[in-house]
Amino acid sequence: MKVMDYIINEIRARKMHMTLIDPAKQSPEEAAKMAKEAYEAGTGAIMIGGSTDLSREKVDETVLKIKEAVPIPIILFPSGAHVISKYADAIYFMSLLNSNSPEYLIRQQMMGAPIIKKLGIEPISMGYIIIEPGMTVGKVGKAELIRRDKPEMAAAYALAAQYFGMQLVYLEAGSGAPEPVPPKMVKVVKDWIDIPLIVGGGIRKAEDARNIVKAGADIIVTGTLVEEVEDIKAAVSEIVKAIKV
Ligand code: 1GP
């Protein structure tokens, strides 16, 4: 089954949680252990990405170890064309829509497209929109950040993504953001679009996760949470339970 079909089936039935793992932050073995605990707690897919200084070898090793540990899809969430691993099940083929740099709008994608074709990885096209505070990805991606009090601006970008034929929209507050994307903004964006909506960045509390899915997110992503807590299974479980709305 294609990964996108799996996602569509999942979100038809329930809200979905995905766990982001940055291969630069631990050994492949440790990453596999984290993925397994998150899977046992109910996470629906593992996203691989994060740091910009990653090597493809590290991504390959991490994907392979995680693959041995969990049966759920492993989806690349790439910072650029240099980290495309042939072992992943799919890749978010994403454009940073509010970037001021062609590099993140289309150039890395142009470089990655032939690699994806050659390796036979499933591309899932996604409009990526960065909201304040944006954190590192906002700076690196040269994003003209969407103000937290301008939900219509985020919605207009999201609708543009839909009209481009993109399959998903991702609202990103930035990894480690002190506050996630405001639920009010999630609601306006969801009202404007018909394609599935992913929200990530700064989600640590079950209550925030619940408010974001209640506002209309189909999928929520947590990354920092699994890096920070002792008991990954308990922490992810709490979020997964909270989004059963
Ligand atoms: C980052 O949205 C993801 O791209 C996850 O953010 O690390 O804050 O959970 P956190």
**Could you give phi then psi for residue 89, rounded to 5 degrees?**
-80, -30
Over residues 140-195, the pLDDT tens digits come to 999 999 999 999 999 999 999 999 999 999 999 999 999 999 999 999 999 999 99
**230 C-alpha to center of ligand 1: Å?**
18
Contact 235, 223 (CB under 8 A): no
Residue type, 197: L
Where is the binding site, in residues? Answer: 22, 51, 170-176, 201-202, 223-224
**225 C-alpha to center of ligand 1: Å?**
8
Contact 73, 90 (CB under 8 A): yes
Range of the domain at 215: 3-242
Over residues 66-95, the pLDDT tens digits come to 999 999 999 999 999 989 999 999 999 999
Q: ipTM exceeding 0.90?
A: yes
**28 C-alpha to center of ligand 1: Å?**
19
Bridge partner residues of 109 (DSSP): none
- State the SS3 of 146-157: ECCCCHHHHHHH
Residue 44: which pLDDT band, with cuts at 50, 70 and 90? very high
| Tally of domains within the chain | 1
All residues at 6 or more sequence positions from 37 whose CB lies less than 8 Å from its CB, including other chains = 226, 232, 233, 236
Per DSSP, which regions of 42-121 are E strands?
45-49, 74-77, 90-96
Cis peptide before 133 (omega within 30 of 0): yes
Handedness of CA 136, 137, 138, 140 (dihedral sign): positive
Where is the binding site for Mg(2+), in residues? Answer: 22, 51
Hey, which of 25, 92, 172, 181 would you mutate to test ligand 1's pocket, going by the most ligand atoms within 8 Å of its Cβ?
172
Contact 219, 196 (CB under 8 A): yes
Ligand 1 neighbours, Cβ below 6 Å, are 20, 172, 175-177, 200-203, 221-225
| CATH code where residue 101 lies | 3.20.20.390
* SS3 state at 145: coil
How many CB atoms within 10 Å of residue 70?
19
Closest Cα to atom 4, ligand 1: which residue? 175
Hey, which of 221, 225, 228, 232 would you mutate to test ligand 1's pocket, going by the most ligand atoms within 8 Å of its Cβ?
221
